[in-house]
Amino acid sequence: MKPRVAVFSFTCCEGCSLTILECENELLDIVNLVQFVRWREAMTETSDDIDIAFVDGSISTHSDVRKIKQIREMAKLVIPIGACAYNAGLNALKNRYGMGEVKEMVYGPDGAQFDTIPARPVSAVVPVDFALPQCPIDREEFLRTVRDLVLGRTPRLPDYPLCVECKRAGNDCVFWKGMKCMGPVTRAGCGAICPSNGDYCEGCRGFVDHPNEQAHQETLKEHGLTVQEVMNYFNLFNSYDESQI
């Protein structure tokens, strides 16, 4: 019996779901390993009999809270995918404002009718079994995860900073090019895709388990950032704070 897989989306752009759909060369191999039974972006059929639920998006409405709890009841494994689901990502930026203010800012006077609560990662509402970070998810990491789950291996995320992958790729440090980078505190696993293509790391994979945040604040200041700018770098993808919920 192939594992029955569902993909669910909450508050997000559904780019992580789309990343799965875009595994065009691998989709046939994937459907040899698993059976997709529910996935609104890809199919019309639906099912409540689910082994693995991949979930993208943050939980940001009361209805989201109810739905993710139902999914947890239905599925044997719940695996958040992508920054929004993993650590609330960009969505958490709204949490520093009052919800009334946010609705007014985005929708004007009509905003009052919307149900919105501070954005949170899936793991803040239900227990999760594993999670894939990044905005959007890394295709290879997703494929390895599916393979590992089918083979009964425990998938793992790297727990070292992005600098490792920059060095393996032979990149020069982006700081030497005059840019600022979140790589030294960010979890590797994307293959340093942004620095390898002339950009800097924004930290979309979240931090390593024990980031040296103090050291990195000092580094960013040493490279000319103001305290506010340092906070902006830190907060873009990593501002989720339980105490704001």
Q: What angle do CA 218, 90, 82 make, to 5 degrees?
A: 105
Contacts of another protein in 148-167 (CB under 8 A): 151, 158-161, 163-164, 167
Q: Is 168 in the site for another protein (CB under 8 A)?
A: yes
- Candidates 35, 61, 123, 171; binder of another protein (CB under 8 A) is 171
Q: Is 74 in the site for another protein (CB under 8 A)?
A: no
Q: Which region among 11-19, 46-54, 127-135, 215-223 touches another protein (by CB under 8 A)?
A: 215-223
Shortest Cβ 222–another protein spacing (Å): 8
Each residue 173-212 as x (binds another protein by CB under 8 A) or -, in order, gives x-xxxx----xxx----------------------xxxxx
Q: Which region among 112-120, 121-129, 142-150, 237-245 touches another protein (by CB under 8 A)?
A: 142-150
Contacts of another protein in 34-63 (CB under 8 A): none
Shortest Cβ 63–another protein spacing (Å): 36
Shortest Cβ 70–another protein spacing (Å): 31
Q: Is 221 in the site for another protein (CB under 8 A)?
A: no
Shortest Cβ 140–another protein spacing (Å): 10
Q: Is 147 in the site for another protein (CB under 8 A)?
A: yes
> How many other C-beta atoms can be found within 10 angstroms of the C-beta atom of residue 108?
9
Q: Which residues contact 117 (CB under 8 A, 6 or more apart)?
A: 60, 61, 62, 65, 99
How many angstroms from the chain centroid is the CA of residue 173?
25
Contact indicator for 121, 59 with CB cutoff of 8 Å: yes
Under rule CB under 8 A, how many of the chain's residues touch another protein? 40
Q: Which residues bind another protein (CB under 8 A)?
A: 26, 29-30, 32-33, 143-144, 146-147, 151, 158-161, 163-164, 167-173, 175-178, 183-185, 208-212, 214-216, 218-219
